[in-house]
Amino acid sequence: MSSIDESQQRIGAVLALAPVVPVLVIDELALAVPLARALVAGGLPAIEVTLRTPVALEAVRAIAAEVEGAAVGVGSVRRPQDFDAARAAGATFAVSPGASPALIAAAPDSGLAWLPGAATASEAMALAEHGYRYLKFFPAESIGGAGALRSIGGPLPELRFCATGGIGLGNARDYLALANVPCVGGSWVAPSAAARAGDWAQIETLAREAAALRG
């Protein structure tokens, strides 16, 4: 089995854990562990921490070490060195908004399960030629939404997409009803105001609602 095949098996397993992958922007390191615990308690164990803040990697490290049952990965991966930093912090998967030649070259040796982004059929086809069958569809709502994914599924039935971007409780089911969408990504399950207030009960409730979207 090639490293890409193994990576794709692993990312497929992550995407099968729950219908929603929380996409987190963590500004305060102290919030990382209780936030992740609330999400896992609500039934959302796969957690994507975006590399958009100075504490993102330390947040990944803390979640990986302290939150039982969490499958923590990094998002907003743009450079090959992001793979190295994420793996060193304890991440098990990585998500990118797109797929550059440098990332495609580095991913097989990264040790991480990689979910590359694709916004068009051409991008999806190019990644499929490299062996990737699990892709991130981003930014979903801005590029045609569930209708676009339904159309892509016709000529590319072997590909599966985690749709992210503009998705919330009100439209998540539109995506999850599609055969080529195992899950969606979204930030609505972890409102920043609730996290700053330490309202973990609210976040756990939102996670439970999201976990029940496909049941």
Which residue of the set 28, 48, 58, 204 is catalytic? 48
* CATH classification at residue 201: 3.20.20.70
Residue 136 is among the residues annotated as catalytic for this protein: yes
User: What are the backbone angles phi and psi of residue 184, rounded to the nearest 5°?
Assistant: -125, 160
Number of domains in the chain: 1
Question: What per-residue confidence (pLDDT) applies to 215?
Answer: 61
Query: What is 29-92 written as a DSSP string?
Result: GGGHHHHHHHHHHTT--EEEEETTSTTHHHHHHHHHHH-TT-EEEEE---SHHHHHHHHHHT-S
- Write out the two tokens for 163: 């749709």
Residues, the chain = 215
- Write out the two tokens for 45: 């164990």
What string of pLDDT tens digits covers the 215 residues of the chain? 789 999 999 999 999 999 999 999 999 999 999 999 999 999 999 999 999 999 999 999 999 999 999 999 999 999 999 999 999 999 999 999 999 999 999 999 999 999 999 999 999 999 999 999 999 999 999 999 999 999 999 999 999 999 999 999 999 999 999 999 999 999 999 999 999 999 999 999 999 999 999 86
Question: What per-residue confidence (pLDDT) applies to 23?
Answer: 98
Residue 68 is among the residues annotated as catalytic for this protein: no
Count Cα neighbours of 176 within 13 Å in the Cβ-side half-sphere.
Answer: 23
Please provide the distance, in angstroms rounded to a whole number, between the alpha carbons at the two ends of the chain. 33
Domain assignment of residue 213, yes or no = no
Domain assignment of residue 142, yes or no = yes
Domain assignment of residue 192, yes or no = yes
Q: Is the pTM of this model over 0.75?
A: yes
CA 178 – CA 60 distance, rounded (Å) = 31
Which residue of the set 58, 136, 158, 204 is catalytic? 136
As a whole number of Å, the CA-based R_g of the chain is 16
For residue 139, cis peptide bond before it (omega within 30 degrees of 0): yes
- Residues spanned by the domain of 24: 3-208
Strand order in the sheet with 93-95: 113-115, 93-95, 71-75, 46-50, 20-24, 183-186, 160-164, 134-137, 117-118
CA-based nearest residue to 25, from 46, 49, 4, 47: 49
CA 61 – CA 209 distance, rounded (Å) = 27
Domain assignment of residue 215, yes or no = no
Question: What per-residue confidence (pLDDT) applies to 214?
Answer: 82
